């Protein structure tokens, strides 16, 4: 018999979500997460993954991951600081540093974990963090964990950031100040204004922290948003994930040797949680090598993104102002957005609806994530379905 208080809590809260129509039902997929997926026995064109370059299912990564299992086993056996640092981890970190153009890098079990790890290893209750209001949940949680004062600024509003940076600096209340932003914002596909952010940071002696989870492999010819702006020597913390464009799992911080050395002795997920498995680490390193060898997959991703965007725009959809392959199709009304996504699904396209509170009220959208693995035929088929459903629901 469990606790009746827990039962009551769960019943009330689950019902509340259901009543509001925001209880998320998960659809397990019965195939690899490639450009086409199978759900409930049906084949769908997949426009919902973060598998930007198609690497999650790439043969070259499968091969090295299998070899790593044969050679090293399935687990790393310990946390990094005891004896869970295999030479594979060191090789991965060297590859990441090279890829990012920094002195050093440190790998974590996920991108989410990076933000838990890195922010609180450096910031404390006597510090302040300037945080873009649309920053990812893991940044918000990482900031909370640090106990620093969090000062939110309006999304990509450099006037607001400058004003708040100035106030924080001049108040004399804080030992250290940091500004944190996503590199690419995943709901609209817009890119952070890093040159302005770095300029403001310099003016007020503020540390800079860029979480480029959606930028790595995508912007800067694949090397990410910081490289896109040529700011690798100016940004103090470059965060990335190994789970999106890289196609595997894990996350990393790239920065100076001193920073990485500090994180290795002070960041708690590194010290107290078992390290990435041999297969993950080996596959991630292969993916990074592939990105450094060639921009072929990156180029294909952008070609497909541009093709899908042009097609949707021509049909008359509102695709917002994305600067990356992320392609929102903004419907507006929440219920209509959900119906639109459901009808796309019934016709053969898997594109999730994203509505309030994830995005502001009245800006409900179906978000499309084209990848390098999609063919023109798949995108044409998706566009034809968009046209049919868009007309049926009188959106276009």
Binding stretches for ligand PLP (CB under 6 A): 110-112, 136, 138, 182, 186, 211, 213-214, 241, 243, 251
Instruction: Using the minimum distance from each CB to ligand PLP, give the nearer residue, 161 or 385.
Output: 161
CA-wise closest residue to 75 among 288, 289, 273: 273
CB 278, CB 76: distance < 8 Å: yes
| Closest separation in Å from C-beta 143 to ligand PLP | 12
Rounded-to-integer distance, Cα 55 and Cα 283, Å: 9
**What is residue 82's DSSP assignment?**
T
Instruction: Using the minimum distance from each CB to ligand PLP, give the nearer residue, 102 or 241.
Output: 241
| Closest separation in Å from C-beta 215 to ligand PLP | 9
Of the candidates 48, 49, 186, 243, the residue annotated as catalytic is: 186
How is the beta sheet containing 36-39 ordered, strand by strand? 36-39, 42-46, 349-350
Give the three-state DSSP class for 388: helix
Give me 125's structure tokens: 């209750």
CB 104, CB 257: distance < 8 Å: yes
**104-108/149-153 β-pairing:** unpaired
CB 84, CB 109: distance < 8 Å: no
214 included as an active-site residue: yes
Rounded-to-integer distance, Cα 90 and Cα 79, Å: 14
Rounded-to-integer distance, Cα 296 and Cα 284, Å: 18
Instruction: Using the minimum distance from each CB to ligand PLP, give the nearer residue, 213 or 308.
Output: 213
Question: What are residue 62's phi and psi, to 5 degrees?
Answer: -60, -45
Instruction: Using the minimum distance from each CB to ligand PLP, give the nearer residue, 211 or 286.
Output: 211
Rounded-to-integer distance, Cα 307 and Cα 283, Å: 30
| Closest separation in Å from C-beta 136 to ligand PLP | 3
298 included as an active-site residue: no
Instruction: Using the minimum distance from each CB to ligand PLP, give the nearer residue, 182 or 236.
Output: 182
The secondary structure element, H or E, covering residue 385 is helix 376-392
Question: What are residue 16's phi and psi, to 5 degrees?
Answer: -60, -45
| Closest separation in Å from C-beta 135 to ligand PLP | 7
**364-368/327-332 β-pairing:** antiparallel
| Closest separation in Å from C-beta 183 to ligand PLP | 8
Of the candidates 214, 227, 309, 374, the residue annotated as catalytic is: 214
Give the three-state DSSP class for 179: strand
Instruction: Using the minimum distance from each CB to ligand PLP, give the nearer residue, 113 or 304.
Output: 113
Give me 180's structure tokens: 């944190």
Rounded-to-integer distance, Cα 36 and Cα 132, Å: 35
To which residue do tokens 């990485």 refer? 260
Of the candidates 244, 298, 309, 374, the residue annotated as catalytic is: 244
Q: Residue 182 forms beta bridges with which residues?
A: 211
Longest CA pairwise span in the chain (Å): 62
| Closest separation in Å from C-beta 214 to ligand PLP | 5
| Closest separation in Å from C-beta 177 to ligand PLP | 21
289 included as an active-site residue: no
Instruction: Using the minimum distance from each CB to ligand PLP, give the nearer residue, 112 or 229.
Output: 112
**Residue nearest ligand PLP, CB atom distance:** 111
Rounded-to-integer distance, Cα 97 and Cα 80, Å: 18
| Closest separation in Å from C-beta 317 to ligand PLP | 24
Instruction: Using the minimum distance from each CB to ligand PLP, give the nearer residue, 326 or 395.
Output: 326
Catalogue the active-site residues: 186, 214, 244
């Amino acid at each position: 018999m469990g606790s009746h208080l827990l039962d009551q809590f769960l019943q009330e809260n689950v019902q509340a979500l259901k009543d509001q129509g925001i209880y998320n039902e998960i659809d397990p997929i019965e195939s690899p997460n490639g450009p086409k997926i199978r759900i409930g026995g049906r084949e769908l064109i997949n426009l919902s993954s973060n598998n930007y370059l198609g690497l999650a299912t790439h043969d070259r990564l499968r091969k090295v991951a299998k070899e790593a299992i044969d050679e090293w086993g399935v687990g790393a056996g310990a946390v990094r600081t005891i004896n869970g640092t295999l030479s594979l981890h060191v090789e991965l970190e060297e590859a990441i540093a090279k890829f990012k153009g920094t002195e050093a890098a440190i790998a974590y079990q996920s991108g989410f974990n990076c933000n838990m790890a890195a922010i609180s290893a450096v910031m404390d209750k006597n510090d302040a963090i300037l945080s873009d209001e649309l920053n990812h949940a893991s940044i918000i949680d990482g900031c909370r964990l640090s106990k620093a004062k969090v000062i939110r600024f309006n999304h990509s509003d450099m006037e607001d950031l400058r004003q708040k940076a100035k106030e924080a600096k001049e108040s004399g209340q804080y030992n250290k100040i940091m500004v944190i932003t996503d590199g690419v914002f995943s709901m609209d596909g817009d890119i952070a204004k890093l040159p302005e952010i770095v300029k403001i940071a310099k003016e007020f002696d503020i540390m800079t922290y860029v979480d480029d989870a959606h930028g790595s492999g995508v912007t800067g010819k694949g090397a990410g948003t910081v490289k896109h702006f040529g700011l690798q020597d100016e940004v103090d913390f470059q965060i990335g994930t190994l789970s999106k464009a890289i196609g595997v799992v894990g996350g990393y911080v790239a920065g100076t040797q001193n920073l990485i050395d500090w994180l290795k002795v002070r960041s708690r997920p590194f010290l107290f949680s078992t390290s990435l498995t041999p297969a993950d680490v080996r596959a991630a390193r292969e993916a990074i090598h592939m990105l450094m060898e060639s921009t072929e997959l990156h180029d294909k991703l952008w070609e497909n993104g541009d093709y899908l965007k042009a097609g949707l725009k021509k049909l008359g959809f509102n695709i917002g102002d994305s600067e990356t392959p992320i392609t929102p199709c903004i419907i507006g009304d929440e219920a209509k957005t959900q119906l639109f996504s459901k009808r796309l699904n019934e016709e053969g396209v898997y594109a999730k609806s994203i509505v309030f509170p994830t995005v502001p009220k009245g800006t409900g959208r179906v978000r499309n994530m084209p990848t390098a693995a999609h063919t023109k035929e798949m995108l044409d088929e998706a566009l034809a379905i968009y046209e049919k459903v868009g007309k049926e629901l009188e959106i276009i």
